[in-house]
Structure 1
Amino acid sequence: MHIKERLFGKTAGKEVMAITLTNRSGASITAMTYGASLLEWSVPDKAGKFDNITLAFDNLEDYVTHRPFYGATVGRVAGRVAHGSFEIDGDPYQLETNQETNHLHGGNSGLDTKVWDYQTEQDDQEARIIFSYLDAEGSNRYPGNLKIQVTYTFTEDNKWKINYQAETDAPTLFNPTNHVYFNLHGTVSKTILDHQLFVDADRFVELNEQSIPTGRRPDVAGPPFDFRTARLTSQATESTHPQTLQVSGLDHPFVLNHDANRLDVSLYDPQSGRKITMKTSEPVVVIFMHNGASPLKIANNPIPAYAGITLETQDYPDAINQAHFGSIVLRPGETYRSETTYSFHIE
Structure 2
Amino acid sequence: MSITKKFFGKTDNGEEVNIFALTNNNGFSARIIDYGATIVSIFAPDKNGRVDDVVLGYDDLESYAKGPGYIGALIGRYGNRIKAGRFTLNGKEYILAKNDGNNHLHGGIVGFDKAVWKAETITKDGKEALQMSYTSKDGEEGYPGNLDVKVIYTVTDDNALSIEYIAFSDKDTIINLTNHSYFNLGGHKSGSILNNTLKLEADKFTVVDNEAIPTGELRNVEGTPLDFRKPTAIGDRIDQKDEQLLNVGGYDHNFVLNRTGKGLEKAAAVYDPKSERTMEVYTNKPGVQLYTANFLGKDLKGKDGAVYQNREALCLETQFFPDSINHENFPSPILKAGERYDYTTIYKFL
Q: How does 1:242-281 map to 2 (within 5 A)?
A: 242-259=243-260, 263-281=266-284
What amino acid does structure 1 have at the position aligned with 2:347?
Y
Report Cα offsets for 1:166-224 as digits up to 9, x if no partner.
01111111111111111001033411101010001000111011110000111101241
Hey, what's the Cα distance between the residues in 1 that align with 2:124 and 2:147?
30
Structure 2 matches for 1:304-315, cutoff 5 A?
A: 304-315=309-320
Q: Is the 8 A contact 2:265 2:282 kept in 1?
A: no
Partner of 2:335: 330
- Give the match's secondary structure for 1:97: coil
Describe the shift of the 1:90–1:213 C-alpha distance in structure 2 as closer, same or farther (beyond 3 A): same
Residue identity matched to 2:305: N
Shift of 1:49: 2.1
**How many Å apart are 1:100 and its aligned residue?**
1.2
Contact 2:172/2:334 (<8 A) preserved: yes
Deviations 1:45-85 (A, max 9, x none): 23322111011111111111124311111010111111111
- d(CA) in 2 for partners of 1:309 and 1:38? 15
- CA 1:2–1:123: 2 relative to 1, 3 Å: farther
SS of structure 2 residue aligned to 1:206 = strand
**Quick check: 1:57–1:63 contact (8 Å CA) kept in 2?**
yes
The TM-score with structure 2 as length reference comes to 0.95
Deviation at 1:160, TM superposition (A): 0.8
Partner of 2:3: 3
CA separation of 1:259 and 1:194: change in aligned 2, threshold 3 A:
farther
CA contact (8 A) 1:205 1:254 kept: yes
Offset at 1:259? Answer: 5.0
Q: Aligned partners of 1:215, 1:242: CA distance in 2, in Å?
A: 16
Who is 1:136 aligned against? Answer: 137
CA distance in 2, matches of 1:127, 1:311: 26
- Give 1:156 shift: 1.1
Distance 1:88 1:317 in 2: 16
Aligned-partner Cα distance in 2 for 1:258–1:323: 19
Q: Which amino acid aligns with 2:142?
A: R
Identity %: 39
Take 2:338 and 2:307, find their aligned partners in 1: how far apart are those partners? 48
In structure 2, give the amino acid aligned to 1:324: N
* 2:88 is equivalent to residue 83 of structure 1: no
Q: Could you tell me how far 1:126 is from its partner in structure 2?
A: 4.3
Normalising by the residue count of structure 1, what TM-score does the alignment of the two structures yield? 0.95
Equivalent residue number for residue 95 of structure 1: 96
**Greater shift after overlay, 263-272 or 41-50?**
41-50
Return the match for 1:285 from 273, 280, 288: 288
- Structure 1 portions without partners, runs of 5+: none
Alpha-carbon RMSD across the aligned residues, in angstroms, is 1.7
Aligned to 1:137, the other structure's residue is in SS state coil
- Shift in CA distance, 233/96, structure 1 to aligned 2, threshold 3 Å: same
Contact 2:55–2:181 at 8 Å: present in 1 too? yes
Partner of 2:109: 108
Number of the residue aligned with 1:320: 325
Give the equivalent residue in structure 2 for 1:200: 201
Q: Aligned equivalents of 2:16 and 2:140: distance in 1?
A: 22
Q: Contact 2:265 / 2:283 at 8 angstroms: preserved in 1?
A: no
8 Å CA contact retained: 1:236, 1:244: no
Query: Which letter maps to 2:7?
Result: L
Q: Which residue of 2 aligns with 1:229?
A: 230
* 1:126/1:156 contact within 8 Å kept: no
2-structure distance, mates of 1:191, 1:185? 9
Is the CA contact (8 Å cut-off) linking 2:55 and 2:183 kept in structure 1? yes
- How far apart, CA to CA, are the structure 2 residues paired with 1:85 and 1:196? 37
Contact 1:223 / 1:236 at 8 angstroms: preserved in 2?
A: no
In structure 2, the partner of 1:297 is 301
CA contact (8 A) 2:75 2:180 kept: yes
- 1:262 Cα deviation (Å)? 7.2
Partner in structure 2 of residue 26 of structure 1 = 27
CA apart distance, 1:270: 1.3
Moved more, 287-296 or 111-120: 287-296
CA distance in 2, matches of 1:322, 1:124: 37
After superposition, give the CA deviation of every residue in 1:20-53 in whole Å (9 maximum; x if it has no partner): 0111111101111000111111012233221110
- Residue identity matched to 1:150: V
Kindly state the Cα deviation for residue 142 of structure 1 after the two structures are TM-superposed: 1.0
Secondary structure at 1:112's aligned position in 2? helix
Equivalent position SS for 2:349? strand
Is 1:340 matched with 2:312? no
Structure 1 contact 51–186 (Cα < 8 Å) conserved = yes
